[in-house]
Each structure stands twice: as structure tokens, then as C-alpha cells.
Amino acid sequence: MIRRAASAPVVVLGALASAGACAGPSAPPLVQPGAPGQPARVVDRDAARAAPAHSEADVHFMHSMIPHHGQALEMVALVPSRTTSEAVRAMALRMEISQRDEIAWIERWLRSHGAEMPVHGDHAMTAPGMLTPEQMGRLRAARGDEFDRLFLASMIQHHEGAITMVRTLFATSGAGQSSEIFQFANDVEVDQRIEIERMRTLLQGGGR
Amino acid sequence: MRGRNVVVSAMVALLGAGSGASAQTDSVPGPQPPRFEWDPNDPRLGLAAGWMDAATAIRGLEHVASIPRPEGFFNPATPDDRTVINSDLAFRGDLLYQGNYQGFQVFDISTPSEPDLVLTVLCPGGQGDVSVYGDLLVMSAQETRGRIDCGLGGVADSVSAERLQGVRIFDLADMRNPRQVAAVQACRGSHTHTLVTDPDDPEHFYIYIQGTGGVRPAAELAGCSNTRPEEDPNTSRFRIEVVRVPLDAPERAEIVSMPRIFADPTTGAIAGLWPGGDHGPGTQETRETTQCHDITAYPEIGLAAGACAGNGILLDISDPVNPVRVDEVVDPNFAYWHSATFNNDGTKVLFTDEWGGGTAARCRASDPPTWGADAIFTRTDGGPMELAGYYKLPVPQTDTENCVAHNGSLIPVPGRDIMVQAWYQGGLSVVDFTDPRNPFEIAFFDRGPVSQEEIYLGGYWSTYWYNGRIYAAEIVRGIDVFRLTPSEHLSEAEIEAAELVRVEQFNAQLQRRHTWPAAVPVARAYLDQMMRSGRILEARAAELRSLLERAGAGRASEAELRQAAARIESDVAAIRAGTLGGDAERLGRIAEVLRSLAG
């Protein structure tokens, strides 16, 4: 899926120092340096538009992230009626809003890249870290301190799944190459790591 | 920019009570941030939207040029194609270097109102922050698509020797043939970087690499480790990388140290600073200090100020290879410590908070004026930093405008601490922080949103003063150039005095001390300041004004200048002795100028 620019028409700089002349009255040529020690070259203006396209793995990552985030929202929705901890309540609210923002961004990305929206539940059970129906059932049934412990442990598992998804994405050849995907996936990893640390602290009784 | 697409907006909802717009005070006990107030007649309110044709509002400035992004650095289909957005700026001589996620552009600004594109270089990798040192240009690369050979097509393999995440060094001695001379790999790439010089070592300069991305696999770059420091003391997190660049052989640039600048000096624990989390009810949630987002070095005072996610820190950089942390602060209003600027004499540090990561709307009416703002710290006699006040763009922006405190630089008005600062789609704001407890705005420029339907990334990344003009890097609209104009807050002489300060090169993260020539506008600037504050005898002010007018026209005799200097010096002595009221400091500087003019 990667469009390669390597085959783009290029010319050695010295040979076409006036290449810019054909592009406009005063625009200088687009120069592409080489690796250290290698010469620069002039790049054709159309070729300069080449950029890594999104790959199938990128689309799969984005598709999987929707049900994954969707389950996080289901878990978060259980919090207000079951928790007794202000810290867990506050954390859940933060998560709800950030996960909603992320889902909206993913949907916008999928739309603008012509990738079909997933059928709900399509990737759900294949996404790492997802809670099984049994785990969700236990969480639903729990109350008070027991709920808080179970919620934090489950959400850590769930978030670690998201980090695994990001790591898998970046470990897949051709994936995570567009700036949008790189930035989004990187942010998911950073944010979920922070929340995991925070939840571990709360689990150990260090929270307010 | 932290590079976030989606941002933790949870704070907004949590804030509720603190926003001043909600009635949930009883649900979140504890101290609340102050309410945001603004001038209802501010012309920045309600500006019409548009990518290249948004409405504008301006005060205290003249907009002298606007240059869209050139071919190769924009996508006509959409404003926020993130592969080609503009980032940071650097300057040398008559040249302006505009960083971009796709490479960089060089403009000739010998006529500042007519920037002339002279070089466009493709070399993707983002953010593309640039610095210059002589003929060398340093650029940050952090994305997985970054290639050692500057190729546009990305790197196909997930583990590849072709990938470059780190800093690149280009030799631009021959502008028609830019050469990449070094590519230094780093485990977390390079989000930003800082040039550091050693006054005792003119043979080298140093690059501090600030990496904020995920850690690369060890299979691709040996030694990279993504674990917690408790599990692996060699973790690639919780550090910066220091690159030494030999000026006569920049191709030999290499990492020479990886200082653990967040370590606890007592226990030696690597993760010794802010652990992440909030600071109590109603406070901001601050990121864990695992990285610096940006560091500003000021070698002439031997210090660097680091904005390091969860903390603001000061580093002793007298040995640039081994920076030593000498102070650190936290702030309950900060989400993410982003950048730092010293005032000229090094007694103040202005830190910015990039709440929301730069891609979110954080200047709305409901956002508190102490969040996503500047925090100004003072240092007395080299002591610890103490919080003095906050400054935030004093007018709300819409919810489709990404807006938060961002990069700026000092404007060298003698006798005052003034900075021009970028606020993304909030535009630029010129702030006076001479009194750090009461910073105020003296000029601004703002455009309407890129779109009023959706939030597109845009606005000013950086706004810097360089040799008499303000240059502003617009992420999706190109470069703007401004000239200061006189107002009640800034006199013609103060502007002239600032325009007299000339430097050979400028990198915002490598601060140099401003000095002023012994010139009439400089003396006149001090006089204007004393007249504004009422700290000079009216009769003396009138005499001085008239003398300076004549001196400016070359009609004051040497004897007259000496005589006036002597009279002022006796005033200064009387003020210092407590027998006369007035501003001894500024009067003394005027006397110096007069003596110098007398020759």
C-alpha cells in the first residue's frame, strides 16, 4: 500500500540547476538532499507530492480501536452507580471524554480516507485487552471497593491492549508511516501509559 | 506542538466549577482557578473564518508581509495535511529558515517586507524544528517515515537501517547544493532540540535532543529500552541525549552523554521528579516527568531552563556534556510544561503550558486564564525560582481554533521585559512581563478560524523578533511579517531602540544577551519609560527631551552632553542617598549614553 517515491523522476542537481525555471518565474527548485555524504538532487514537483499512504494495517488499527474504545465507554458508564471513590469517578470522567474524542477523530479519519466504517463488533473480540463477556458480567455485578478494584484492574488490562495494538502497528511493515497515524498512535500509547500508571497507583491505595 | 490529534479534553469537564461558567462548585471542593474576563469590545471577537482569507484584527503592529507555504509544502485539498505543516523558525544574516514536517524552506529577508524564497529542501520526518549555527542547519525528525536519505516514501520495514529518528545536520555553505552531513539516531527520535555552546570551547557546539515519541525497538537501534527505570536502569526514557558537533568535522557528530536530569539527588532514582497526576481537588492533571519537551539554553549565564512535561527545571550547563539540575518547580495549573524563555538579565523565567497538546481549543471563554498559560517565575540572587504570575491570551477564541501558549522570543526594548508569543489560532500577543505579577498585552494580531465547522490544526507555531521585525510561522498559512507601531504602551523611541539591536543568528532555544548601542533612541526609550511611570522630575524630563532631540539631529555639543550627564549623575547619587525621588537605574543608563555620545 505504500506509494514509493524512490522511483520518482529525479535529476542530479548540477545537471539541472535551472529546473526551477519551469515551475514558476521565481520559485527555486525543490531539492532533496541525500544520505550523509551523498549528493542532493532536484525533485520534480509532482513527485514531491509523494508521501507514504496508509496501509491495510493502519485501517485495521483504526477499525479495531473503535470497538476497543467502545468497550472502555461501556466500562466507564458503570462507574457512577457503583464506585465510592472520588478518584475513580474523576478518572472515569476523563477517560470518557478522551475516548469519545478519539472515536470521533478515528471516524473522521476513516471517512476522509474512504475506509468503510466497521460493522459494530466486527473486530471486538480480536482486539487485544478486550474484556470477555464473563469479565464484563463480574464487573457489572460488583459494588463499592470491590468494584473499584475490579474496574481498575480491568481497565489496566484494557489499556495494555491498546498499547499492544500500537506496538503491533509499529511492528508491522508499512504501517504507521503517515504523519496522522504516527501522531495518533503515539498519543494513544503515551496517554494510556499515563492512565495505567495512575490506575496502578490508585490500586495500591495511593490515590486521593 | 506535542503532536496530538485528539486531546485530553476531560479537564474541561472536570474543571466545570473552575471554568467560571458552571454552577458545579459544590461537586469539586477546594481552590478553583480564577474566572476568565475580557474586553467585550476586543476586535478579535467574531472574526470571519477562512483558510487563506479569514478576517483579521490588529493592534500595535503593522502587517508588512504574508507569504503562503510554497509548492511541495502544502496540500491544496486540505489545510491540515499533517505531512506538510510548518513548524519552527531560525535565522542567520539575511536568511529565515522555516521548518516543516516535510523539510525546510529558506527565505531571503534582506527586505523584510518582501521575503524571497531562495531554497526549498525536502526531507520528511516531522516536526522539522530547525536551528542554525554558521553554515550548519540542525533539524529534528521524530516520525517513523523519516529516512536517512531524505526520501519521501517512508520506510517500508518496521525494523530498518534506512530509518532516521533523531537529528539531521545539513551544510548550507553552498545554498544551491545543500548537503546532509550527519544524521544522529536517538531512541525516542527528536521532537525538538536545543543548540548549546560552551564559551570555553569554540571548536564544538552541542545539541540537546528532546525525544518524546515511543521508544524504538532495540533491533533497530541498539540499546533502546522502553521499560520503567525500576526494571531497567538503562531505560531510554527519563533522559535527554547530548550530541557533540565538531565545527571542523560536523560529520563526526555523535551522542556523547545521556544525562539523567530528572534523578533524585538523594536516592539516585532515575524517575526523581513529578510522578504524574493532579495536585489536589480542582487542580490540573500534570504529565509525568519522563522527558523534556523543550530546553532553552542561555550560555552567558551558564544556565538552561527545561520545560519537562511535569516540571520546570534549571540546569547548570557550564559543562554542556554534563548538565546538572539546580532547581525544579511544579505548578498545579500546568498540564504539560512545554517551553521556557529567560528575560534578558536572567532573573525571570517564563514557562509555557501546552494544555491540550496544541491541537485543542484551550482559549475558550470557559477555560481558566491560568490554564494553558504562561507562568512567570522570578529568581533573586541566583536563588530558587518562585512563581510570580500568569499570562494568557486575554481574549477568548472559538471552539474550532486550536489555541494554547506556544513559542515566543524577547523583543529587546531596553529597560523592559517584553515577549512576542504565538498562541496557535489565537494569533500572536506581545506581552510586557517587566512586573511579573502583572503582565499585560501591548500588541496583537489574530485571524479568524481556519474553519468554523471543524477544528483544523492551524495558527502560529512560533513568533520571533529578529533584527527589527516580528516573523511569525503560520502552520497552514505560511509566514507573516510585522513591524511594531507606537501606542500608549510602547513609544516610538522604544521601538527604535529595539530595532537597533542586531544579531548574526537567532535560535529561540539558544538565548543570547541583548546589548544596546549608545544611541539617542536608547536614552529616549528610558526617558519615555520614566515619564510613563512618573518617576522623573518634570523639569528634568523636559530638559532631557530637548537635549536628546538636538543630539538626535547632531546639534548637541560635546560639552553640553557632558554637562547633562554630570547633572543626571548627581541626581542618581541623590536618589541613591534617598534625598530625591526617581528612577536611579534608568537615569544612570541615560547618563552612560550621553557620556558615550560626547565621546
Instruction: Give the lowest-confidence range in A125-139, B138-152, B331-345, B532-546.
Output: A125-139
What does the buried/exposed string (b/e) look like for A143-181 if buried means 16 or more CB atoms within 10 Å of the residue's CB? eeeebbebbbebbbebbebbbebbbbbbebebbbbbbbb
Region B42-56 average pLDDT: 97
Whole-number Å distance between alpha carbons of B36 and B366: 7
Cell of A22: 519551469
Confidence category of residue A125, pLDDT binned at 50, 70, 90: low
Cell of B34: 480564577
Residues 6+ away with beta carbon under 8 Å from A128 = A160, A161, A162, A164, A165, A168
Contact flag A51-B176 (C-beta cutoff 8 Å): no
Strand partners, B386: B378
Cell of B469: 521585525
Confidence category of residue A117, pLDDT binned at 50, 70, 90: low
Instruction: Give the lowest-confidence range in B74-83, B450-459, B569-578.
Output: B74-83
Interface test with chain B among A183, A184, A198, A208, by most B beta carbons within 10 Å: A183
For residue A136, the model assigns a pLDDT of 95
One domain, residues A168 and A123: yes
Q: Return the beta strands (E) in A113-201 as ranges.
A: none
Whether residue A5 is contained in a domain is answered as: no
Whether residue A60 is contained in a domain is answered as: yes
- In the block, cell 496530538 appears at B4
- In the block, cell 485543542 appears at B360
| Residue B20 clears pLDDT 60, i.e. is over it | no
Region B522-538 average pLDDT: 96
For residue B31, the model assigns a pLDDT of 61
One domain, residues A174 and A134: yes
Contacts A–B by Cβ distance under 8 A = 199
One domain, residues A63 and A131: yes
Whether residue A197 is contained in a domain is answered as: yes
pLDDT in tens, A149-203: 999 999 999 999 999 999 999 999 989 898 889 989 998 998 898 889 889 988 9
Whether residue A199 is contained in a domain is answered as: yes
Whether residue A178 is contained in a domain is answered as: yes
Q: Is B529 exposed, middle or buried (0-12, 13-18, 19+ CB in 10 A)?
A: buried
Whether residue A188 is contained in a domain is answered as: yes
> Residues of chain B with pLDDT > 90: what percent?
87
Which chain A residues have a beta carbon less than 8 Å from that of B11? 94
pLDDT in tens, B144-189: 999 999 999 999 899 999 999 999 999 999 998 999 999 999 999 9
Which chain B residues have a beta carbon less than 8 Å from that of A95? 10
Which DSSP letter does residue A3 get?
P
Which chain B residues have a beta carbon less than 8 Å from that of A6? 151, 153
Interface test with chain A among B12, B152, B170, by most A beta carbons within 10 Å: B152
In this structure, are residues B69 and B51 in contact, taking their beta carbons and an 8 Å threshold?
Answer: no
**A1 reaches B (C-beta below 8 A):** no
Secondary structure of residue B141 in the 3-state scheme: strand
Instruction: Give the lowest-confidence range in A134-143, B23-32, B142-151.
Output: B23-32
In this structure, are residues B86 and B461 in contact, taking their beta carbons and an 8 Å threshold?
Answer: yes
Question: Which amino acid, B485?
Answer: T
Spatial CA neighbour of A190 closest among B320, B214, B501, B384: B214
Which chain A residues have a beta carbon less than 8 Å from that of B14? 90, 93-94
Q: How far is A95 from chain B (nearest CA, A)?
A: 7
One domain, residues A25 and A88: no
In this structure, are residues B404 and B355 in contact, taking their beta carbons and an 8 Å threshold?
Answer: yes
In this structure, are residues A115 and A56 in contact, taking their beta carbons and an 8 Å threshold?
Answer: no
Strand partners, B220: none
Q: How far is A117 from chain B (nearest CA, A)?
A: 19
| Residue A23 clears pLDDT 80, i.e. is over it | no
In this structure, are residues B98 and B105 in contact, taking their beta carbons and an 8 Å threshold?
Answer: yes
Region A6-14 average pLDDT: 36
Phi, psi torsion values for B116, nearest 5 degrees? -120, 120
Whole-number Å distance between alpha carbons of B409 and B388: 19
Contact flag A194-B5 (C-beta cutoff 8 Å): no
Locate the chain A residue with the closest alpha carbon to B8. A98
Give the H or E element holding residue B130: strand B127-133
pLDDT in tens, B372-419: 999 999 999 889 999 999 999 999 999 999 999 999 999 999 999 999
> How many CB atoms within 10 Å of residue B118?
17
One domain, residues A82 and A149: yes
One domain, residues A42 and A134: no
One domain, residues A123 and A138: yes
Phi, psi torsion values for B549, nearest 5 degrees? -60, -45
Spatial CA neighbour of B473 closest among B1, B20, B216, B98: B98
Whether residue A3 is contained in a domain is answered as: no
Average pLDDT for chain B: 93
**A37 reaches B (C-beta below 8 A):** yes
For residue A26, the model assigns a pLDDT of 66
Whole-number Å distance between alpha carbons of A179 and A184: 8
Which DSSP letter does residue A12 get?
E
- Start-to-end CA distance of chain A, whole Å, equals 48
One domain, residues A105 and A130: yes
Residues 6+ away with beta carbon under 8 Å from A89 = A79, A80, A83
Whole-number Å distance between alpha carbons of B312 and B351: 7
Cell of B338: 512545554
Give chain B's domains with CATH numbers.
36-227+289-506 (2.130.10.10), 520-598 (no CATH)
Cell of B286: 500534570
pLDDT in tens, B357-377: 998 999 999 999 999 999 999
Secondary structure of residue B418 in the 3-state scheme: strand
Residues 6+ away with beta carbon under 8 Å from B47 = B54, B55, B56, B57, B446, B447, B448, B449
For residue B23, the model assigns a pLDDT of 33
Whole-number Å distance between alpha carbons of B10 and B35: 19
Instruction: Mark residue B460 as left, alpha or beta (left: phi above 0; alpha: psi -120 to 50; beta: remaining).
Output: beta
Taking the CA atoms of B146, B151, B154 and B160 in sequence, report the sign of the dihedral they define. negative
Locate the chain A residue with the closest alpha carbon to B157. A173
Spatial CA neighbour of B443 closest among B498, B486, B397: B486
| Domain carrying residue A63 | 56-203
Contact flag A31-B122 (C-beta cutoff 8 Å): yes
Which DSSP letter does residue A88 get?
H
Q: How far is B11 from chain A (nearest CA, A)?
A: 7
Which chain B residues have a beta carbon less than 8 Å from that of A45? 71-72
Question: Which amino acid, B74?
Answer: F
> How many CB atoms within 10 Å of residue B88?
29
| Residue B225 clears pLDDT 90, i.e. is over it | yes
- Start-to-end CA distance of chain B, whole Å, equals 50
Q: How far is B360 from chain A (nearest CA, A)?
A: 11
Strand partners, B91: B96, B506
pLDDT in tens, A49-64: 777 778 889 999 999 9
A3 vs B3, B70, B153: nearest CB = B153
CA distances from B250 to A37, B138, B203, B205 (A): 11, 11, 11, 10
Q: Is B496 exposed, middle or buried (0-12, 13-18, 19+ CB in 10 A)?
A: buried
One domain, residues A36 and A65: no
Region A2-19 average pLDDT: 35
For residue B587, the model assigns a pLDDT of 97
Whole-number Å distance between alpha carbons of B242 and B325: 15
Locate the chain A residue with the closest alpha carbon to B120. A30
One domain, residues A106 and A137: yes
For residue A4, the model assigns a pLDDT of 32
Contact flag B152-A26 (C-beta cutoff 8 Å): no
One domain, residues A18 and A88: no
Chain A, 89 to 118: residues with Cβ < 8 Å from chain B are 90, 93-98, 101-102, 104-105, 108, 112
Tell me the whole-structure pTM to 2 decimals: 0.91
B5 vs A23, A49, A184: nearest CB = A184
Whole-number Å distance between alpha carbons of B12 and B363: 11
Cell of B74: 502544502
> Residues of chain B with pLDDT > 70: what percent?
95
Number of folded domains that form chain A: 2
Whole-number Å distance between alpha carbons of B78 and A79: 40
Whole-number Å distance between alpha carbons of B418 and B411: 5
In this structure, are residues A176 and A93 in contact, taking their beta carbons and an 8 Å threshold?
Answer: no
Interface test with chain A among B5, B155, B355, B475, by most A beta carbons within 10 Å: B5
Q: How far is B420 from chain A (nearest CA, A)?
A: 28
Residues 6+ away with beta carbon under 8 Å from B459 = B401, B402, B403, B422, B423, B424, B425, B426, B427, B447, B474, B475
Whether residue A4 is contained in a domain is answered as: no
Whole-number Å distance between alpha carbons of B566 and B581: 18
One domain, residues A42 and A107: no
Whole-number Å distance between alpha carbons of B149 and B542: 65
Which DSSP letter does residue B252 get?
G
| Residue B590 clears pLDDT 80, i.e. is over it | yes
